[in-house]
Amino acid sequence: MKQAVIIGASGGLGGALAHLLLSRGGWQVLGTHHQTEPLWQHALMTWRALDVRVETEIAALMTQVPKIDLLINTTGILTSPHHGPEKSIRHFNAEHMMLSFEINTAPILNLAKHAQAALKASHQPIIVALSARVGSIADNDLGGWYSYRSAKAALNMAVKTLAIEWQRSLPMATLIAYHPGTVRTALSAPFLKSDSAKITLSPEDAAEHCLQLLDTLTPTHTGSFWDWRGQNIPW
Ligand SMILES: NC(=O)c1ccc[n+]([C@@H]2O[C@H](COP(=O)([O-])OP(=O)(O)OC[C@H]3O[C@@H](n4cnc5c(N)ncnc54)[C@H](OP(=O)(O)O)[C@@H]3O)[C@@H](O)[C@H]2O)c1
């Protein structure tokens, strides 16, 4: 039985990934939730409450899993209680940006710090950081969304840097940043038009694309940035 840890399994994409792994068989899943209470159960699913902003909570969680074969961090925010993605510099608010960094950027590093021992116990661990294409500096033709773009760009740098360290200390690990496509979830809902179904993905389809890519990856792919079509995104 392989062990997956899905941070943010209460979310659209995290929940779909957990369901898909369990339906594939051979996996037990530890999933976390924060403000959303888990709505479903499964014999091989364990739920834990976690605020990814609190390092001691991450450390405590990781003591409960001796081996991790797949670690997916799906936590992220685009909006905060009083602020959304900025259309113009006039809308910029530093507190919103800091919160965005706290939830979109820092968690992967705290997770990596405290999951290292459990990842080492796996033969070929895979670690996925849910990023976003808008975090690519090379791909930024539209502008806007200062806080989210910056937080995901910083996440991408964290992934690249960690992958370099782990090539020495965890050489069998594959660590990637991943863009899931535009997926119909609570995060994207306020920004989707009513006729956007044709150009967006259901969480179930997005999870399928993600796991299909993971099936093809090897440690030679560590430190790279992928999209849901299985193509590399320039940093
Ligand atoms: N949806 C898209 O179109 C899209 C596109 C590109 C990239 N992404 C990225 O994909 C990832 C998943 O997004 P999604 O669409 O599935 O979003 P979502 O449905 O809103 O899920 C977000 C998840 O993050 C968790 N979370 C938020 N703050 C947290 C905190 N402080 N501590 C712990 N967990 C926290 C939420 O937990 P609770 O609900 O329990 O609070 C939820 O499980 C994100 O990183 C997002 O940036 C999404």
In-domain check, residue 137: yes
Residue with the smallest CA separation from ligand 1 atom 42 is: 11
Q: Could you give the strand order of the β-sheet that contains 174-179, starting from the edge strand earlier in sequence?
A: 45-49, 27-33, 2-7, 70-73, 126-130, 174-179, 224-227
In-domain check, residue 232: no
How are beta strands 174-179 and 224-227 bridged, if at all? parallel
CATH of the domain at 202: 3.40.50.720
In-domain check, residue 215: yes
Total tally of structural domains belonging to the chain: 1
Pocket test for ligand 1, best of 6, 30, 39, 75 (most atoms within 8 A of CB): 75
pTM greater than 0.85 (yes/no): yes
> Where residue 114 falls among pLDDT bands split at 50, 70, 90?
very high
In-domain check, residue 70: yes
pLDDT tens readout for residues 196-211 = 877 899 999 999 999 9
Structural domain boundaries, residue 86: 2-227
Q: Which residues pair with 175 in a beta bridge?
A: 127
In-domain check, residue 31: yes
As to burial, measured by CB atoms within 10 angstroms (0-12 exposed, 13-18 middle, 19+ buried), residue 120 is middle
**Ligand 1 binding pocket, CB closer than 6 Å:** 8, 10-14, 33-36, 50-53, 74-77, 103, 130, 132, 179-180, 182-183, 185-188
Q: Which two tokens stand for residue 142?
A: 């539209």
In-domain check, residue 235: no
Q: Mean pLDDT across the stretch 63-78? A: 98
